[in-house]
Structure 1
Amino acid sequence: MNQQPLSIPADTQASLLDVLREQLHLTGTKKGCDHEQCGACTVHIDGQTALSSLTIAHMVTDKKITTIEGLAMGEQIHPMQEGFIA
């Protein structure tokens, strides 16, 4: 997760979004519409975009997950992060 391997116990029905926000406190990934419409919950899973609100957390075991927080390059923020700030 964002360059760090993690093992988190989670309910077998928990969404990746809920685990990110509630257990890992990575709140950059947002709850939006819960209907695949807004993209606020988008993360990268093994380099591919995915909607974390529709992804069951236990289905991404051993996958590389990158959230908006993980896009920064050291102290320099990523253009996508700049867009959220603006």
Structure 2
Amino acid sequence: MDNDLIVQCFQYLLGIIPGDVAGNIVAVLTTMVTICTLIMRFWKIPDQASQSHKLWKLIYILASFKTPSVTKVEAKDGQKIN
């Protein structure tokens, strides 16, 4: 999907929604993304067989707006993390 189309749809929706409601929606979404980003910063990747891995994937998607595509992620020092 083209980024210009996404921006146009977003601007259209913000034009329809009253300003105070739109401001509240943006504030809630910003807070949610910030909290998910903080959680991702300190939560190590759980084992894929565990139940918490599904929750980790959801938080990862909300924090980064992309799906985790690899099973192994490299740490900052270059070591592999399962």
**TM-score, length-normalised on structure 1?**
0.23
Larger radius of gyration: 2
Which of the pair has the greater relative contact order for Cα pairs under 8 Å at 6+ separation? 1
Query: Comparing both structures, which one devotes a greater share of its residues to helix?
Result: 2
**TM-score, length-normalised on structure 2?**
0.24
